[in-house]
Amino acid sequence: MKLLLALLRRDLILAARQGGGVGTALGFFLTVLVLLPIGIGPDQVTLQRLAPGILWITLLLSVLLSADRIFQQDFEDGSLEIMVMAPASLELVALTKAIAHWLSTSLPLSIAAPFLGILLNLRTEIIWPLTLAMVLGSSALSLLASIGASLTLNLRRGGLLISILVLPLYVPVLVFGMSATTGNPEVIAPSLLILAAITLASLVLAPIAAAAALRAYLK
């Protein structure tokens, strides 16, 4: 347990010091949100209708932006080999690194995103359901991203490939994340529950998949 906390702390410090963490992702997010109304046009009704979908898709892309960092640097500088050798369970190491990515990138983004939605004339009554759905879904996003990151370990510039591998896995999160923002109270609660279920399932399965990929690369 202590060793996982040490790993979590180190990854969070590295995310804060090296840049490319939440600051960059938020900047990307904001830039897309500013560009979209220019592309779509200033019609407030259209923007309001599209806002939740735009926010979700931008969130998915921003999370993937830094996904390759989850394992890549540790692979390149040899840290990962030592982690694989250590008596610690590799599944828990992979889980810890996904959690560090969630805490440093996905979680802050998912909290900020709905409020940035004001730029798109997002209906104020769905800000809270959207925030809740994004916070719930974002942990699944980081966990699934860790699978993609582990599969593209020895590819330099594997970022694009991660997107192709992981985006299909994001479809369930997107579907139920969107249905939580319909504004219909009867749909919100079940959607949030299903999002929670997706998160729990990825919590169990993603570290197993990521650890298997890491082993395949390093052994």
Q: Between residues 35 and 86, which has the closer beta carbon with respect to other proteins?
A: 86
Q: How far apart are CA 19 and CA 189, in angstroms?
A: 37
Helix runs in the chain, H state only: 2-18, 22-40, 44-65, 72-76, 79-85, 90-101, 107-116, 127-151, 159-166, 171-179, 185-218
Return the residue of 34, 85, 155, 160 that touches other proteins, per CB under 8 A.
Answer: 85
Return the residue of 30, 53, 81, 123 that touches other proteins, per CB under 8 A.
Answer: 81
Examine residue 10 and tell whether it contacts other proteins (CB under 8 A): yes
Q: How far apart are CA 93 and CA 59, in angstroms?
A: 25
Least Å distance between CB 71 and other proteins? Answer: 14
Examine residue 103 and tell whether it contacts other proteins (CB under 8 A): no
Contacting range for other proteins; rule: CB under 8 A; set: 41-49, 78-86, 142-150, 202-210: 78-86
Which chain residues interact with other proteins by CB under 8 A? Answer: 2-3, 5-7, 9-10, 13-14, 17-18, 73, 76-79, 81-88, 218-219
